[in-house]
Amino acid sequence: MSIRNKHKFTKMRKFRDLFKWKAEYPVPEENMEISTPTVVEHKVHVTYNKATKSFEGIPNAWKSSIEKALSKDELESNPEAALSVKFYHYSIKKKILDFKPWQLLKLLKRKVAIDHVFENGKDLAGGIDSLAITGEPSEGANSSASAEDSDTYEVCKNSTDQVDRAQNEVKESPVQVRRKPGTKMSNEEVMEKLREICSPIKAESVYEKDSEIGEIGSGASGTVFVAKEKATGRKVAVKDIDLEKQPKKELILTEIQVMKELQHENLVNFLDVFLQENHLWVVMELLDGGPLTDVVTETVMKETQIAAVCYHTLQGINYLHKNGVIHRDIKSDNVLLGKDGSVKVTDFGFCANISGDEKRQTMVGTPYWMAPEVVNRKQYGKKVDIWSLGIMAIEMIDGEPPYLNETPLRALYLIASTGKPNVSSWDKLSPEFQDFLNKCLEVDMEKRASSEELLTHTFLSKRISTTTLKPLIEAAHNILKKKITQ
Sheet holding 92-96, edge to edge: 151-154, 92-96, 113-116, 363-365
Alpha-helix residue ranges (DSSP H) falling in 299-401: 303-322, 372-375, 384-398
Q: How many CB atoms neighbour CB 339 within 10 A?
A: 17
Our answer to whether residue 165 is catalytic in this structure is: no
CA distance 397 to 425: 8
The interaxial angle of helices 384-398 and 303-322, nearest 10 deg, is: 160
Q: Which is catalytic among the residues 110, 328, 410, 448?
A: 328
Q: In degrees rounded to 5, what are phi and psi of residue 229?
A: -80, 120
Residue 285 is inside which H or E element, if any? strand 279-285
Question: Taking Cα atoms as reference points, which of 401, 411, 399 lies closest to residue 441?
Answer: 401
CA distance 217 to 211: 15
Angle at 257 between CA 195 and CA 145, to 5 degrees: 100
Q: CB–CB of 435/459 below 8 Å?
A: yes
CA distance 174 to 180: 18
Q: CB–CB of 243/279 below 8 Å?
A: yes
Residue type, 447: K
User: CA dist 195 to 200, 201, 249, 250, 278, Å?
Assistant: 8, 12, 13, 13, 11
- Provide the 8-state DSSP code for 179: P
User: CA dist 130 to 87, 229, 278, Å?
Assistant: 15, 42, 26
Residues in the chain: 486
Q: How many CB atoms neighbour CB 111 within 10 A?
A: 22
What's the start-to-end Cα distance of the chain, in Å?
113
Active-site annotation, residues:
328
